[in-house]
Chains A and B, each alone.
Chain A
Amino acid sequence: MDFALTETQHLLQDTANRLVRERYGFEERKKILASPAGSSPELWASFAELGLLGIEIAERFGGSEGGFHDLAVVLDAFGRGLVAEPFVPTVVMGAGLISRAGSEAQKAAILPGVAAGTLKLALAYGERRSRYSLNHVETTAKADGDFYVIDGQKSVVLGGDAADQLIVSARTAGKATDPDGISLFLVERGAAGVAIRGYPTVDGTRAAEVTLTGVRVAKTALLGSEDQGLGLVDYAVDRGIAAMCNEALGVMAALNELTLEYLKTRVQFGRPIGKFQVLQHRMVDMEMALEQAKSMAILAAAHVKDGDPRSRAKAISAAKVQIGKSGQVVGRGAIQLHGGIGMTEEYIAAHFFKRLTAIEICFGDIDHHLARFARS
């Protein structure tokens, strides 16, 4: 048993924290989010230069072949800085899935680009009627000679508007909710019949509605085996959850620090408001919520590559439940303890709270993961 960070992890943590501190202040972030793309190509290029995009990618494809715990420290730093770049969709979910399921040719075509910062990915699995179930896929892919023809609509695709390539789940057999019969396809953003409508989400990150109309992709665009894609989507989404759990740690830690500072400096009735016991207890609850979350985020990271899907599901869902609950305690608590100033867009507390809210919703809320935990 060893919970200490490795030397590499310390290095990555310092690198990511410094980058966020120097290049991604609150005002800088505001400017980036207000730009048409809502993200920063310069920042992304810096991620690549510092090796953050290839942490897990094999050395032969330009990465450094690290583990998920290495990614986790970077995500924590990104949480502290509220980095709103499509890091999770591209690096954690997209590249992680290609590394796991891609053919040698697919890996060679995609992974070096991800590591170098020239290629972004998004996993287009959700649909308007699917809510959180991964097996609800109405989008279809029909074989046509050497091609598949894909038709359907994908909803709230995280990072979808920045992606150069989409990984699309589509039904090659069966009915809309069958677990079997789902396949994954690599689709170029510029392919004929692909329409991407990007928009900001409530926390300032970006997502897209993706409409696919008679999109023809070569047979070689199939990722993994035909009809057997659900397990891969499940894997990619679990990676996304583990990533956001670790990001949430950074968000909560920063928000707790901010709130604690406010309690010590805001004076009402002639003393710092942190002298009032009812506020002290709430602050303590927020700290405990963070510690509980930390334990489960570590657990999630440790189980991402668990070979037993049920044991993986159990750990990941447990972590998602705990992070959801802790996020509520910390987020709502921080706003209440700040009072009016916590309600404003000009102050960063509200932005931490909004990110925690989005993380709670992404990939399934508390009820969804309670049920999955109980089933697994």
Chain B
Amino acid sequence: MDLTYPDEAKSFADEVRAFVREKLPHAIRDKVMNGRELERDDNVAWQRILHARGWATPAWPAEYGGPGWTTLQRHMFAEILSEEGAPAFIPFGQEMLAPVLFAVGSREQQQHFLPRIATLEYWFCQGFSEPGAGSDLASLKTRAVLEGDQWVINGQKMWTSTAQNGTHIFLLARTDPAAPKPQMGISMFIFPLAVPGITVRPIITMDGEHHTNEVFFEDVRVPKDAIIGEPNKGWDYAKLLLGHERTTIARVGQSKRQLKRLKKIAGEEMVDGVPLLETPSFRDKVAALEIELMSLDLSVLRMIAGEGKNAPGNEANMVKIKGSEIQQRVTELLVEAVGPAALPYDRAAMHGAGSEDPIGPDYAGTLAASYFMTRVVTIYGGSNEIQRNILAKSLGL
């Protein structure tokens, strides 16, 4: 047993940290550090900076333009980026779709899409959930019918996050309604959002912001080769892709950054002349959270080192559950930390540089909205109830 990082890992970490500190634009860093909304341009700008360094797609194999890092390096990279206030990757193209393209995409699809995903020239979004198909994704009803050399698509998708910024979508649609099991009649397609018949309607979430959308498909015609892999195999590809979502969903680096912020704020907030962080009740809550996070951090490292006794899929379910619970706990304590200053709704604080005359301390304006929005992390990517069902099944229950 040796819990220290090898020397080469340390010098790798130094190199990454130095790079982020030098190249990450201050305006973008400020937004991330203070929980403000990022604009489309912010994500694209940062992606291009990483691309120029060859680090835009850390998880990709070298043959597709990845840096050829070890799993540990990739983990350290993601964590350092989060800690230093870099925007999270837009996961849909590079983290979710790309592994499917590596596995079953045609040569043409790989050559056309992968380089454009790497620069965010193509911004993908995910067309999976539907009004009647959430946790029970396999019950989806959107139809794709082959007519001549075109697929004709009709239906409705929901929770299509970032579609307002997106250029492309990967979509699950039913191609064989007569299949013996619903999972066996689904195919996956990729195509541009700017084709006739697609309507994107915003869904405003309870933080008052526009993160996600409904997308309607009315006689949308896409070429025959818009399908990925084989017809009616889409469910298998989706599982591959959702498995990927769960490993990145632990968000250890982000939670470390948030914990640091919580301590800073709780150190500035005064309760009857004492910093909040020094009051026993609050201090203990922060300590308990920090211990949870330390445990998760090491669990993720153990999982990376491949020393856990469970199959990798199950470990991903576990870190998804713990990671999402920790993310929520930090936002709960952040709201608690600022007291009544969390009450004013300050939309300006969510955008740009904050309002000119903030009502409370300038860090307070985004905290309630962030608490509200973070309720979603135990819902999306397969709700925590579904994750626990999967784990229970793996225990033989």
Q: From B206, which residue of chain A is reached at the shortest CB distance?
A: A350
Using a CB-CB cutoff of 8 Å, which residues 187-230 of chain B contact chain A? 203-206, 208
Query: Is B113 an interface position by the 8 A CB rule?
Result: no
Query: Is A275 an interface position by the 8 A CB rule?
Result: no
- Chain A residues whose CB sits within 8 angstroms of the CB of B340 once the complex forms: 126, 131-132, 155-156, 361-362
B339 partner, pick from A201, A267, A361, beta carbons under 8 A:
A361
Residue contact A367 to B336, C-beta cutoff 8 Å: yes
Query: Is B14 an interface position by the 8 A CB rule?
Result: no
Q: Would you give the shortest CB distance from A144 to chain B, in whole angstroms?
A: 30
Residue contact B343 to A362, C-beta cutoff 8 Å: yes
- Chain A residues whose CB sits within 8 angstroms of the CB of B208 once the complex forms: 345
Residue contact A268 to B368, C-beta cutoff 8 Å: no
Query: Is A189 an interface position by the 8 A CB rule?
Result: no
Residue contact A353 to B135, C-beta cutoff 8 Å: no
Stretch at the interface among B46-54, B167-175, B266-274: B266-274
- Chain B residues whose CB sits within 8 angstroms of the CB of A278 once the complex forms: 385, 388
If A269-B136, A335-B375, A354-B206 touch, whether A209 touches B343 (CB-CB below 8 Å) is: no
- Chain B residues whose CB sits within 8 angstroms of the CB of A126 once the complex forms: 340
Query: Is A101 an interface position by the 8 A CB rule?
Result: no
Q: From A351, which residue of chain B is reached at the shortest CB distance?
A: B206
- Chain A residues whose CB sits within 8 angstroms of the CB of B379 once the complex forms: 335-336, 339-340, 342-343
Residue contact A343 to B206, C-beta cutoff 8 Å: yes
CA distance A315 to B378 in the complex (A): 35
CA distance A230 to B380 in the complex (A): 48
- Chain B residues whose CB sits within 8 angstroms of the CB of A270 once the complex forms: 136
CA distance A354 to B132 in the complex (A): 26
Query: Is A279 an interface position by the 8 A CB rule?
Result: yes
If A156-B343, A207-B344, A268-B134 touch, whether A340 touches B159 (CB-CB below 8 Å) is: yes
Q: From B355, which residue of chain A is reached at the shortest CB distance?
A: A199
- Chain B residues whose CB sits within 8 angstroms of the CB of A37 once the complex forms: none
Residue contact B345 to A346, C-beta cutoff 8 Å: no
Residue contact A361 to B272, C-beta cutoff 8 Å: no
Query: Is B69 an interface position by the 8 A CB rule?
Result: no
- Chain A residues whose CB sits within 8 angstroms of the CB of B158 once the complex forms: 340
A276 partner, pick from B204, B343, B345, B385, beta carbons under 8 A:
B385
CA distance A126 to B340 in the complex (A): 9
Residue contact A340 to B129, C-beta cutoff 8 Å: yes
Q: Would you give the shortest CB distance from B368 to chain A, in whole angstroms?
A: 4
Q: Would you give the shortest CB distance from B330 to chain A, in whole angstroms?
A: 15
Query: Is A225 an interface position by the 8 A CB rule?
Result: no
Query: Is A34 an interface position by the 8 A CB rule?
Result: no
Q: Which of A202, A346, A362, A367 has the most CB of B within 10 A?
A: A202
- Chain A residues whose CB sits within 8 angstroms of the CB of B375 once the complex forms: 332, 335-336, 342-343, 353
- Chain B residues whose CB sits within 8 angstroms of the CB of A335 once the complex forms: 375, 379
Query: Is A103 an interface position by the 8 A CB rule?
Result: no
Residue contact B203 to A201, C-beta cutoff 8 Å: no
CA distance A336 to B281 in the complex (A): 27
CA distance A353 to B332 in the complex (A): 13
Q: From A176, which residue of chain B is reached at the shortest CB distance?
A: B273
Query: Is B28 an interface position by the 8 A CB rule?
Result: no
Residue contact A199 to B339, C-beta cutoff 8 Å: no
A-B contacts, CB under 8 A, total: 125
Query: Is A344 an interface position by the 8 A CB rule?
Result: yes
Query: What is the number of residues of chain B that contact chain A, defined by CB distance less than 8 Å?
Result: 47
Query: Is B102 an interface position by the 8 A CB rule?
Result: no
Residue contact B281 to A202, C-beta cutoff 8 Å: no
Residue contact B346 to A131, C-beta cutoff 8 Å: no
If A126-B340, A155-B360, A367-B281 touch, whether A202 touches B205 (CB-CB below 8 Å) is: no
Query: Is A177 an interface position by the 8 A CB rule?
Result: yes
Residue contact A365 to B336, C-beta cutoff 8 Å: yes
If A126-B340, A335-B375 touch, whether A156 touches B359 (CB-CB below 8 Å) is: yes
- Chain B residues whose CB sits within 8 angstroms of the CB of A336 once the complex forms: 375, 378-379, 383-384
Q: From A350, which residue of chain B is reached at the shortest CB distance?
A: B206
Q: Would you give the shortest CB distance from B384 to chain A, in whole angstroms?
A: 8
Query: Is A370 an interface position by the 8 A CB rule?
Result: yes
Residue contact B369 to A131, C-beta cutoff 8 Å: no
- Chain B residues whose CB sits within 8 angstroms of the CB of A332 once the complex forms: 375
CA distance A335 to B279 in the complex (A): 31
CA distance A339 to B381 in the complex (A): 11
Q: From B376, which residue of chain A is reached at the shortest CB distance?
A: A343
- Chain A residues whose CB sits within 8 angstroms of the CB of B343 once the complex forms: 156, 201-202, 207, 358, 361-362
CA distance A132 to B380 in the complex (A): 36
Residue contact B270 to A345, C-beta cutoff 8 Å: no
CA distance A126 to B344 in the complex (A): 14
Using a CB-CB cutoff of 8 Å, which residues 360-381 of chain B contact chain A? 360, 368-369, 371-373, 375-376, 378-380
CA distance A136 to B345 in the complex (A): 24
Q: Would you give the shortest CB distance from B111 to chain A, in whole angstroms?
A: 36
Q: Which of A131, A209, A332, A353 has the most CB of B within 10 A?
A: A131
Q: Would you give the shortest CB distance from B158 to chain A, in whole angstroms?
A: 7
Query: Is B282 an interface position by the 8 A CB rule?
Result: yes
Residue contact B205 to A156, C-beta cutoff 8 Å: no
If A339-B135, A343-B379, A345-B208 touch, whether A199 touches B345 (CB-CB below 8 Å) is: yes
Query: Is B316 an interface position by the 8 A CB rule?
Result: no
CA distance A362 to B336 in the complex (A): 11
Query: Is B335 an interface position by the 8 A CB rule?
Result: yes
CA distance A357 to B207 in the complex (A): 13
Using a CB-CB cutoff of 8 Å, which residues 101-147 of chain B contact chain A? 129, 132, 134-136, 139
Q: Would you give the shortest CB distance from A189 to chain B, in whole angstroms?
A: 19
Query: Is A214 an interface position by the 8 A CB rule?
Result: no
If A132-B339, A156-B341, A367-B336 touch, whether A339 touches B383 (CB-CB below 8 Å) is: yes
If A155-B340, A177-B273, A340-B380 touch, whether A361 touches B335 (CB-CB below 8 Å) is: yes
CA distance A370 to B271 in the complex (A): 14
Residue contact A357 to B360, C-beta cutoff 8 Å: no
A156 partner, pick from B129, B135, B344, beta carbons under 8 A:
B344
- Chain B residues whose CB sits within 8 angstroms of the CB of A351 once the complex forms: 206
30 A-B residue pairs with CB within 8 Å = A131-B269, A131-B270, A133-B272, A136-B272, A155-B341, A177-B272, A200-B345, A201-B344, A201-B345, A202-B344, A202-B369, A209-B359, A278-B388, A279-B385, A336-B378, A339-B379, A340-B158, A340-B379, A343-B379, A344-B204, A345-B205, A345-B206, A350-B206, A350-B372, A353-B375, A357-B368, A357-B372, A362-B340, A365-B339, A370-B281
A binding-site residues for B, Cβ under 8 Å = 126, 128-129, 131-133, 136, 155-156, 177, 199-202, 207, 209, 267-270, 273, 276, 278-279, 332, 335-336, 339-340, 342-346, 350-351, 353-354, 357-358, 361-362, 365, 367, 370-371
- Which 4 A-B pairs have CB atoms at the shortest separation, nearest pair first? A350-B206, A268-B136, A345-B204, A202-B368
Q: Given A199-B346, A332-B375, A342-B375, list of 7 further CB < 8 A pairs?
A: A155-B341, A177-B273, A201-B344, A269-B136, A340-B134, A350-B372, A361-B335
